[in-house]
A and B are shown apart, each in its own frame.
Chain A
């Protein structure tokens, strides 16, 4: 059913796109909602073709390429997490379209952007209602919409949690990019890998502190079978981002081992944080330190084990040869 609806929307999206590309400036008074969304994209598309950047799609995607990470952040108006900046940027080229089509109200943002706004507003009700439809309903009401608009969120609380995760990930990426820029400009020193990882994970986990009471509920929602693909995708994007900004450019097995290690560290630290009651979560950060040290030690230990193993094998072979000599098996008669 969900696949059917996605297919339906995709089909309509293609139709809307073709109609817009054919007549980007002429608008009829009865344009469908989706083509309204694409009319917003049309001026952006034209701008983007001029400046040679990838055209954004109206469906919110969390995938972003690292090469465009910096520039895309300023121009990435399509991701739901940037809807604050997006609404600003979208309204600027659109004043002419508002006049042409004579529409009013929510028309200058897409449905996804409105959904993102509702979910962001709902986050402040999470301490009260938990991660649930009631929080989303309260969020919608603060925006002046009826609580019936929660019907837009087919995944209910899952939508809210995933939106929050996406928001945290993009905040972290901004912070890391800013730090990277500082280092490149020479205004700051680059950190050692272990310290960098430690700071990145700590920054990211600190974003959970306002919601730490209800975070177990959020984690259990993320573990529901229909949410697992999305939550894994967000987790892998997060870990990938951290390693990228830590300077990892490996192209061999190390790529996988590094990310697996960091995933393990992040997940275990998150679980420790849930049960931590020390002031300012000191125990959690100590745990994080120890785990990162373990990984660093593991790398050097692995090399030592390898060389030791080689030495042991050589010793054994020498012993076997000596035995053969002693028992006379080595003689040639």
Chain B
């Protein structure tokens, strides 16, 4: 870990000659963070509590603003960057999230930090294809319908209304939501989808509203993770499910070394080349390292009040899928 830190600082100093601006204060803070152990530190003064922003230490009030700016900058190229950085594997991760979710028809989904809407689109498609399969199965079992069945069918065609699944995409960042809305329009998805601006720590919804709450690759950007978890518990119906897809600790040491090298050396370069933004992707890989590991996060979810909390490692621990129930 210290080797990559030194690499990071050396690169930072070298590239300060180019157009990339790294403020002296940030550099000093990075060096200071590199010297000390990389753990979250909260100062004792009540109003001056600080948290981590990547490997920097910033006041809590500032973190949200800086995260907002990061995602404002990357919003337009977000999807392309995702494909480039993960070599398209992020699609598999999101499909596995949907598969684990296995939503029944008629559920309401809240996709927090949903941004460009990947999860919500997959959710709607999954539910639609399931409903089609059910209809096909029902049709097959009634190959020669009697008059009674046909007349019943005419009256039950309206029943699709109550079984309609709905997805709500909530994000703190308007730019990300804008990109998502454009995507939805181009894909022609309009029914069953709504876009809401909201803070994960303070959701603009009533209690007991949603069946499933997902947060994919967003919870590490939240300043107070436990507040976000408590909000999740609040808006879920009894029996509702909390699902979180997030980068996590790689268990295999060989893979961990490769992953670290790839993260710190390739990803910011890709960020600069494709999106023209080195710092945001530097923040991304640093924030992954600061996020608690699988077991610790499971403990946090349980403390918030969820039951049957489990996690699954995807791609050897690069991504972990946590799931808990409000019972």
Contact = CB atoms under 8 A, between A and B. Distances in A.
Contact of B104 (A106, A134, A144): A134
A1 B241 contact: no
Interface residues of B, number: 32
Given A32-B303, A133-B102, A148 B212 contact: yes
Contacts of A30: 303
Interface string B181-224: 00000000000000000000000000000011000000000000
B297 to A, nearest CB: 12
Nearest to A37: B307
A145 B327 contact: yes
B89 to A, nearest CB: 18
Given A5-B310, A137-B104, A151 B302 contact: no
Interface in A10-54: 30, 32-34
Contact of B239 (A1, A134, A144): A144
Contacts of B237: 145-146
Most buried by B among A8, A145, A146, A147: A146
A149 B306 contact: no
B269 interface: no
A149 B103 CA distance: 10
Looking at chain A's contact residues, the main secondary structure is helix
Interface string B141-180: 0000000000000000000000000000000000000000
Given A133-B102, A147-B107, A148-B103, A111 B308 contact: yes
A111 B239 contact: no
B220 to A, nearest CB: 21
A144 to B, nearest CB: 6
Interface of A: 1, 5, 8, 30, 32-34, 105-106, 111, 114, 133-134, 137, 140, 143-152
B323 interface: yes
Interface in B298-313: 298-299, 302-303, 305-313
18 contacts: A1-B312, A5-B311, A32-B299, A33-B307, A105-B238, A114-B327, A134-B104, A144-B238, A145-B327, A146-B236, A146-B237, A147-B107, A149-B241, A149-B327, A151-B102, A151-B241, A152-B308, A152-B325
B325 A151 contact: yes
B295 interface: yes
Given A33-B307, A111-B307, A150 B102 contact: yes
A8 B295 CA distance: 9
Contact of A33 (B102, B306, B323): B306
B327 A148 contact: no
A148 B327 CA distance: 11
Contacts of B102: 133, 150-151
Interface of B: 100-104, 106-107, 211-212, 236-241, 295, 298-299, 302-303, 305-313, 323, 325, 327
Contacts of B298: 8
B209 to A, nearest CB: 11
A92 B298 CA distance: 31
Contact of B107 (A106, A111, A146, A152): A146
Nearest to A34: B302
Given A111-B327, A114-B327, A147 B211 contact: yes
A137 B212 CA distance: 14
Nearest to A147: B104
A51 B210 CA distance: 46
Contacts of B241: 146, 148-149, 151
Contacts of A8: 295, 298, 310
A152 B102 CA distance: 11
Contacts of A143: 239
A146 B238 contact: yes
Contacts of A144: 238-239
A128 to B, nearest CB: 12
A144 B240 CA distance: 11
Given A111-B308, A133-B104, A148 B239 contact: yes
Contacts of B107: 146-148
A145 B238 contact: yes
